Amino acid sequence: MATDWLLVHPPLLGPAILGPLAEELSRRGATVHVPDLRAAVAEADGWPERWVRLAAAAGPADAVLGFSGAGVTLPAVAAEVGARQVVWVDALIPAPSGATEADDDIRARVAGLVRNGRIADWTTWWGPDALVELVPDAGVRAAIEADGHELPGDFYDVAVPVPGTWPEDGARYLQLSPAYDDAAVEARRRGWPVHGGLAGAHLDIANHPVLIADLLG
């Protein structure tokens, strides 16, 4: 296992979603950085470049790990920090080259969630009690909810550039839930090692950090 990790939260959530995993990796002797990147997405225009700069401010890292929507930013982040390993955890796969554009599914999902030019906080999308089931631990759940924030309504109109060179030979995919079957298939198609694939849940990254750390090892 790498000894110096940079963990990248998705734009829709804050760093608390990765807190339990960071604690477990630290317990195993790794140095772990979990930067708060929410300021980078306060406005849509230019957010990918701000995101990479803010992530890289945490310093060099041997390995970069991204969860969920962070996946499209990982090539640029990894290239910027000089990582040798890049790990997608139940995360979106970026375009092979050029830039990654948001698909129709996410555009359709957020279309009805825009109020006053902002996309509703993700932690409110599923109803008032949904997170109790999704994240049973009250302390972890409270931290995730406290990180809640609203993205700009035009956020998904901005394509995310893929750098010409990044450490793809160190790429691997960790699937947690069936919702990311297609992404896992694409990772295999690109020749990346794929682990997991169990009938778990997307937020198991916060619920089962020991299992995730074991799979990373």
First vs last C-alpha separation in the chain: 5
Q: What was the pLDDT predicted at 210?
A: 95
At residue 156, does pLDDT exceed 80?
A: yes
**How far apart (Å, rounded) are the C-alpha atoms in residues 19 and 7?**
9
Sheet strand arrangement including 85-89: 31-33, 4-8, 63-67, 85-89, 171-175, 194-196
Q: What was the pLDDT predicted at 176?
A: 95
DSSP 91-147: -PPPPSSSEE---HHHHHHHHTTEETTEEPPGGGTT-TTHHHHH---HHHHHHHHHT
At residue 136, does pLDDT exceed 70?
A: yes
| Bridge partners, residue 33, by sequence | 6
List the domains of the chain with CATH numbers: 4-216 (3.40.50.1820)
Q: What was the pLDDT predicted at 95?
A: 98
Q: What was the pLDDT predicted at 2?
A: 67
Q: What was the pLDDT predicted at 197?
A: 67
| Bridge partners, residue 131, by sequence | none
Question: 164 by DSSP, 3-state: which?
Answer: coil
Q: What was the pLDDT predicted at 200?
A: 87
Over residues 11-28, mean pLDDT? 98
Over residues 95-124, mean pLDDT? 95
By the 10 Å C-beta count (0-12 exposed, 13-18 middle, 19+ buried), 145 is classed as: middle
At residue 3, does pLDDT exceed 90?
A: no
Over residues 195-212, mean pLDDT? 89
Q: How many residues does the chain have?
A: 217
Over residues 65-75, mean pLDDT? 98
pTM for this predicted structure: 0.96
At residue 1, does pLDDT exceed 70?
A: no
Q: Of 201 and 66, which is predicted with more confidence? A: 66
- pLDDT confidence band for 110 (50 / 70 / 90): very high
Over residues 50-67, mean pLDDT? 97
